């Protein structure tokens, strides 16, 4: 299951990506925005998606104007590993090395075609499972589990 979400600036791109997922026969669920609203706020969608991805042990796609805001908000959720990817190669490396579970995309700065290629690499690349990458992810998990003041 792939979860998708976007604010108003990412709404159109999210709708185009759904067409691609339909064509490729991926199962997905749209967590919003379900209609265009110029006054909506990306943290609402990013946090909801990140919580769902972590709970369901799934993957997600977040879209906002720059991709940065959605990434920042999603990464506040423990267990979320959201990455803003601006090239297909970066998406593949982010999955292979960092095991990102949420792909963040920029609707304003990256073309539809490039975002589609980025998404393909995100969906088709597996985590490498290399010891050094596992070690680094465990360091992050250890930090997340510490009580912070």
Chain mean pLDDT for the chain:
96
pLDDT-derived band at 116, boundaries 50, 70, 90: very high
Helix H, strand E, coil C: the string for 40-97 is CCHHHHHHHHHHHHHHHCCEEEEEECCCHHHHHHHCCCCCCCEEECCCHHHHHHHHHH
Domain ranges of the chain: 2-145
Q: What's residue 14's pLDDT? A: 98
Q: Using the predicted structure, report yes or no on whether residue 8 has a pLDDT greater than 70.
A: yes
pTM of the model: 0.95
Helix (H, G, I), strand (E, B) or coil at 29: strand
The 10s digit of each residue's pLDDT in 23-75 is: 999 999 999 999 999 999 999 999 999 999 999 999 999 999 999 999 999 99
Residue 127, pLDDT score:
97
Question: Tell me: the pLDDT tens digits for 125-143?
Answer: 999 999 999 999 999 999 9
pLDDT at 148: 60
Task: Please enumerate in sequence order all residues whose Cβ is within 8 A of that of 128, keeping only pairs 6 or more positions apart, or say none.
Answer: 96, 97
pLDDT for 93: 98
Q: d(Cα 79, Cα 50) in Å, to the nearest integer?
A: 8
Is 149 a residue whose pLDDT tops 80?
A: no
The arithmetic mean of pLDDT across residues 102-114, rounded, is: 98
* pLDDT band, very low/low/confident/very high, at 147 (cuts 50, 70, 90): low
> What pLDDT is recorded for position 98?
97
Structural domain 2-145, CATH architecture = 3-Layer(aba) Sandwich (3.40)
């Amino acid at each position: 299951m792939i979860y998708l979400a976007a604010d108003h600036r990412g709404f159109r791109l999210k709708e185009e990506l759904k067409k691609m997922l339909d064509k490729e026969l991926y199962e997905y669920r749209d967590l919003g925005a379900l209609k265009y609203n110029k006054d909506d706020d990306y943290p609402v969608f990013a946090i909801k998606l990140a919580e769902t991805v972590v709970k369901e042990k799934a993957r997600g796609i977040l879209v906002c104007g720059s991709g940065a805001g959605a990434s920042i908000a999603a990464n506040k959720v423990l267990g979320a590993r959201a990455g803003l990817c601006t090239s297909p190669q970066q998406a593949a490396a982010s999955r292979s090395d960092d095991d990102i579970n949420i792909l963040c995309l920029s609707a304003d700065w990256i073309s539809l075609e490039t975002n589609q290629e980025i998404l393909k690499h995100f969906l088709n690349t597996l985590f490498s499972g290399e010891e050094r990458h596992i070690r680094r992810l465990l360091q992050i998990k250890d930090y997340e589990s510490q009580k912070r003041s």
